[in-house]
Amino acid sequence: MDFQVVTNNFVFLIAQGFLGIGAFTGGTLRLAIPAIVFGFMLGTLVGLARLSPSRWLNWPAKIYVELFRGVPLVMVIFWFWFMIPTLSGKSLPEYSVALTAFVIFEAAYLAEIVRAGIQSVPRGQVEAATATGLAKGQLMRHVILPQALRNMIPALVTQFIVLVKDTSLASIIGYVDLTKAAQIVNNREIRPFEIYLFIAFVYWLLCYSMSRYAKHIERRFSVSHP
């Protein structure tokens, strides 16, 4: 075992592969962070639609969620990889394809988190807010969403951990994330054990510390919410 190969390629793996600073449009975080932000926006809309009393809103939302949760992410990435050129007539770069696929895929999971968060707000809050004369939109914006968001935070951090791990799959369409960067280095150096163990450690460090953080805030919130 010789970890010299890791120190020699450290800058490429971390700057290019993990952060996305370098010659390629790549990077694990450069994909994961916009994907969770946009995915959460879309997920909130889908989650609200699922809770809507109108059948025209809650049925499509339910189908959306069940469809994407029943299909492997690899399959969804291939859909977008082949569908976008077929529908639009021009091919997009890997980054756009991967980001689109992740936003749409993650939104299905995030919608369920949003829905659970909203349903966790006690019914009495809705009744009290209605009694003070708030309209439906005001009720959602000022009373339910702020409390729901707070309840969702641990689940959102957990989902972000999942997303960071899932972004490794963007490498199958050629997006240069940490995993792809490791493949590139390994093709040149042929030291799979050291290289893959090193990137496993990088992922582990990020995901494990975030999961500790999620546990911590969960415990803190559960104290104030008896």
Partner 1 sequence: MNYQFNWSVLWTGQSGGWLWLGVLTTLQIFVLGLALAVILGILSGALRTVPFALLRWLASGYVEFFRNVPLLVWMFFWYFAVPPLLPPVVQDWLFEHGVEFWAGVFALGVYHGARFSEVMRAGIQSIPKTQLEAALSTGLTVAQAYRLIIIPIALRLIIPPATNETLNLLKNSSVALTIGVAELTFQTRQIETYTARALEALVAGTLIYLALCLTISTILAYIESRVAIPGMIAQGQTGEA
Site of interaction with partner 1 (CB under 8 A): 67, 70-75, 78-79, 82-83, 86-87, 109, 112-113, 155, 158-159, 161-162, 164-169, 171-172, 179, 182-183, 186, 192-193, 196-197, 199-200, 203-204, 207-208, 211
| Nearest CB to partner 1, comparing residues 120 and 138 | 120
Neighbours of 114 (CB within 10 A): 25
For the packed helices 28-51 and 145-166, what is the interaxial angle rounded to 10 degrees?
140
Instruction: Considering the complex, state which of residue 143 and residue 182 has its C-beta at the smaller distance from partner 1.
Output: 182
Residue whose CB is less far from partner 1, 89 or 133: 89
By beta-carbon proximity to partner 1, the closer residue of 69 and 142 is 69
Nearer to partner 1, 59 or 204 (CB): 204
Alpha carbon distances (Å) from 60 to 2, 50, 65, 113, 183: 54, 8, 9, 17, 40
Is the distance from CB of 80 to CB of 97 less than 8 angstroms?
A: yes
User: In 3-state terms, what secondary structure has residue 26?
Assistant: strand
Is the CB of residue 149 less than 8 Å from the CB of residue 140? Answer: no
Token pair for residue 48? 């609200």
- Smallest gap from residue 77 Cβ to partner 1 (A): 10
> Which residues, 6 or more positions from 211, have their beta carbon under 8 angstroms from its beta carbon?
157, 158, 161
Shortest CB 181 distance to partner 1, Å:
12
- Give 3-state DSSP helix, strand, coil % of the chain, rounded to 5: 85, 0, 15
How many Å apart are CA 35 and CA 107, to the nearest integer?
Answer: 9
Q: Mind giving me the DSSP string for 47-64?
A: HHHHH-S-HHHHHHHHHH
Q: In this complex, which beta carbon is closest to partner 1, that of residue 82 or of residue 128?
A: 82
Smallest distance from partner 1 to CB 169, Å: 6
